[in-house]
Amino acid sequence: MNLKALLFADLRRQYNVAGQVDKPLTMFGLLKTSFSPRFMPVVLFRLSHWLLQHKLSPIAKIFALTNFILFGLEIAARCEIGPGLYFPHTQGTVIGANKIGENATIYHNVTFGAREIDLDYSALSRPNIGDNVIVGAGAKVLGAVTIGNNARVGANAVVVEDVPPGVTVVGIPARIVKQV
């Protein structure tokens, strides 16, 4: 998917979450949503990721730093994230996952990352998050774990083992409390 298509998919998701599914994308609505603190961090990440893919790492780092300074969102430009990314709030969030699927909803103070210091950003030590996953405020997903499609991670849960598709996990360490 190219940068433009990703951004439009992210923007459409913003409209869907806001309950404006049937409303057309007007110029005013587009501008209003584009500068929202829920959407602008996504734009900055997409630009950072695109720049990194095009071997413009120093500029990518500037966009990543801007995201951190303005929105409190530390997100690795190397992370592969599918379309429809949504942050209801961003402060204190650290995204160091290997891959995040489509339509992910990630609340504030969430951490995705390695269990140990990993300066090389090894895919073997990073989480993989499926499609349509919701991660509640303060949750931590650590290590080479997989969160299955349509799973939910409750607020403040600490995930250190794989989570099957379609379940809800809570607690420290996270355990399944609801299966679909």
Distance separating alpha carbons of residues 165 and 133, to the nearest angstrom: 9
AA letter at 113:
G
> Considering 49, 54, 89, 108, which one is annotated as catalytic?
108
In sequence order, the 6+-apart residues with CB closer than 8 A to the CB of 108 are 87, 88, 89, 90, 91, 92, 93, 137, 138
Tokens of 9: 């998919």
Q: How many CB atoms lie within 10 A of CB 178?
A: 11
| Ranges of H-type helices in 18-106 | 27-34, 40-53, 57-71
Cα torsion for 128, 10, 176, 117, to the nearest 10°?
40
Q: State yes or no: is 89 an active-site residue.
A: no
Contact 84, 102 (CB under 8 A): yes
Q: State the catalytic residues.
A: 108
